[in-house]
Amino acid sequence: MAAAAAVSADAKLEKLRAETTKLDQISENEKAGFISLVSRYLSGEAEQIEWSKIQTPTDEVVVPYDTLASPPEDLEETKKLLDKLVVLKLNGGLGTTMGCTGPKSVIEVRNGFTFLDLIVIQIESLNKKYGCSVPLLLMNSFNTHDDTQKIVEKYSNSNIEIHTFNQSQYPRIVTEDFLPLPSKGKTGKDGWYPPGHGDVFPSLSNSGKLDILLAQGKEYVFVANSDNLGAIVDIKILNHLINNQNEYCMEVTPKTLADVKGGTLISYEGRVQLLEIAQVPDEHVNEFKSIEKFKIFNTNNLWVNLKAIKRLVEAEALKMEIIPNPKEVDGVKVLQLETAAGAAIRFFDKAIGINVPRSRFLPVKATSDLLLVQSDLYTLVDGFVIRNPARTNPANPSIELGPEFKKVSNFLARFKSIPSIVELDSLKVSGDVWFGSGITLKGKVAITAKSGVKLEIPDGAVLENKDVNGPEDL
């Protein structure tokens, strides 16, 4: 039986390879990378995690942030450190979940600034303060490339070198006959997909950017999602990695109940490894979600040595766990295979985690997150989003907004101004609710408009520990 399955897997792969060679929209590198990924998937090489072998990492493996040595106070020494650094933002995502059409990084976050504006301002202030030249790299996907090229032009006079490159473009696989979707006439964007951010390492190399950076004397790349406003350059972390020659560092932060599905770091057979919920046997999923046993999760802020990336990419050694992602395109069931950059940790020497403060993880995935960062909970200083010290609770308020608020345009229309939420614990809004200006929310607030009824919260209202179901409750 196993022999027959192997034959059919080989036959599938050969047919797929033959059709892929005919696709002229992608490079030979992309074709080779795609076939290699599919071949690994079909061979079923995924190792099962043996639950009993999982160990909690020690403080040597996941270093507490507050034990890191202070960086040098001397400006010249700091400049030397920063001149070894490159910042790379993962910019392949579209803002579709928030109702936007272009790259997510151009959504306005605060005071008229987009994610990308803030990133550029931050690096500019760093370069100005220390007289260094930290470049910014944007890894786009074919979905965001054209728009990003146009947007980047507006920074042409800024004190910052900006490079863009594309991650790979792979054909979606038709589930039924295991052939590439574009070879069946789907040659538009729907036929293709970007294979996850694990592709950052080969793409950096294939684009030629890796060799350029190494030639400039760069040593480390700080990789982060473009929508994580907390992912700013940290000299203390950079200093630690250079002094200890760590080839890879993943920033982790303590889990809250909102993060129970996030990947965590474990020690496994003598190496540090990322454990994702998809790898967990069913009978251990609840244990994985427990914040008592697995206390930290991956923020996807990664620091990686550039020479190590070159060594491992050239040796084709980065065989990260494959994430199968089934989709449907115009009624056709397709499969896309992806990898995650965090899973590469186990291939690097002296890899560590650093348990960082929660402030370094401030992603904007939905309009509820946008409400937080646009409110008085934060202020903007030199492009950095800084938390208001008047907020005594270290956790952010939990915010649930109904579908009426899902799109950014609808969200902005429903608030005359963003309420004050410094003393808010939780907010739940459902139905056709509209907010006036100068509103203050405190404690636990739930606002529910009855079906077919428009509920307006008047200007200047103060709601504290209140359930509002109609005008009579205001």
Percent of the chain predicted with pLDDT > 90: 86
Do the Cβ atoms of 81 and 218 come closer than 8 Å?
A: no
Give yes or no for residue 417 having a pLDDT over 70. Answer: yes
- Which of these three, 360, 383, 417, is where a domain ends? 360
Check residue 119 and give its pLDDT: 96
CA distance 321 to 319: 7
Question: Do residues 331 and 458 both lie within one domain?
Answer: no
Q: How confident is the model at residue 474 (pLDDT cuts 50, 70, 90)?
A: confident
Question: Do residues 342 and 371 both lie within one domain?
Answer: no
The overall average pLDDT reported for the chain is: 94
**Per-residue pLDDT averaged across 181-197, rounded?**
89
Render pLDDT for 193-235 as a digit per residue (tens, 0 to 9).
Answer: 999 999 999 999 999 999 999 999 999 999 999 999 999 999 9
Check residue 101 and give its pLDDT: 87
- Report helix, strand or coil for 157: coil
Question: Do residues 251 and 308 both lie within one domain?
Answer: yes
Give all strands of the β-sheet with 54-55 in edge-to-edge order.
54-55, 264-268, 271-275
Check residue 171 and give its pLDDT: 97
Other CB atoms within 10 Å distance of the CB of residue 184 = 14
Give yes or no for residue 1 having a pLDDT over 60. Answer: no
Q: How confident is the model at residue 186 (pLDDT cuts 50, 70, 90)?
A: confident
**Per-residue pLDDT averaged across 273-282, rounded?**
90
**Binding-site sequence positions:** 104, 167, 196-197, 227, 365
Check residue 382 and give its pLDDT: 85
189 phi-psi bin (left φ>0, alpha ψ -120 to 50, beta other): alpha
Check residue 256 and give its pLDDT: 87
Do the Cβ atoms of 198 and 343 come closer than 8 Å?
A: yes
Question: Do residues 59 and 136 both lie within one domain?
Answer: yes
- Which of these three, 325, 360, 395, is where a domain ends? 360
Check residue 4 and give its pLDDT: 59
Render pLDDT for 310-320 as a digit per residue (tens, 0 to 9).
Answer: 999 999 999 99
Check residue 47 and give its pLDDT: 65
**Residues facing 267 on adjacent strands:** 55, 272
Question: Do residues 318 and 390 both lie within one domain?
Answer: no
Helices (H), 173-326: 200-206, 209-215, 235-244, 285-289, 306-314
**Binding-site sequence positions for UTP:** 104, 167, 196, 227, 365
Question: Do residues 270 and 322 both lie within one domain?
Answer: yes
Give yes or no for residue 279 having a pLDDT over 90. Answer: no
Give yes or no for residue 7 having a pLDDT over 70. Answer: no
Question: Do residues 337 and 374 both lie within one domain?
Answer: no
**Binding-site sequence positions for substrate:** 197
- Which of these three, 306, 336, 360, is where a domain ends? 360
**Per-residue pLDDT averaged across 137-153, rounded?**
93
Q: How confident is the model at residue 46 (pLDDT cuts 50, 70, 90)?
A: low
Check residue 278 and give its pLDDT: 84
Say if pTM beats, i.e. exceeds, 0.85.
Answer: yes
Helices and strands in the chain: count of H runs, count of E runs: 12, 26
Weakest mean pLDDT among 211-220, 232-241, 286-295, 401-410: 286-295
CATH number, domain of 228, equals: 3.90.550.10
Question: Do residues 356 and 371 both lie within one domain?
Answer: no
| Structural domain harbouring 451 | 367-473
Check residue 8 and give its pLDDT: 85
Question: Do residues 439 and 333 both lie within one domain?
Answer: no
Render pLDDT for 15-43 as a digit per residue (tens, 0 to 9).
Answer: 999 999 999 999 999 999 999 999 999 98
- Report helix, strand or coil for 440: strand
Render pLDDT for 84-130 as a digit per residue (tens, 0 to 9).
Answer: 999 999 998 989 999 988 899 999 999 999 999 999 999 999 999 99
Q: Report how many domains make up the chain.
A: 2
**Per-residue pLDDT averaged across 358-368, rounded?**
94
Residue type, 138: L
Q: How confident is the model at residue 6 (pLDDT cuts 50, 70, 90)?
A: low
Question: Do residues 103 and 247 both lie within one domain?
Answer: yes
Give yes or no for residue 367 having a pLDDT over 70. Answer: yes
Give yes or no for residue 438 having a pLDDT over 90. Answer: yes
Question: Do residues 324 and 418 both lie within one domain?
Answer: no
Check residue 2 and give its pLDDT: 58
- Exposed, middle or buried by CB within 10 Å (0-12, 13-18, 19+), for 54? buried
CATH number, domain of 457, equals: 2.160.10.10
Question: Do residues 256 and 346 both lie within one domain?
Answer: yes
Q: What are phi and psi of 87, to 5 degrees?
A: -105, 130
Percent of the chain predicted with pLDDT > 70: 98
Render pLDDT for 158-169 as a digit per residue (tens, 0 to 9).
Answer: 889 999 999 999
Check residue 48 and give its pLDDT: 74
Check residue 188 and give its pLDDT: 84
Q: What's the gap between Cα 318 and its chain centre? A: 19
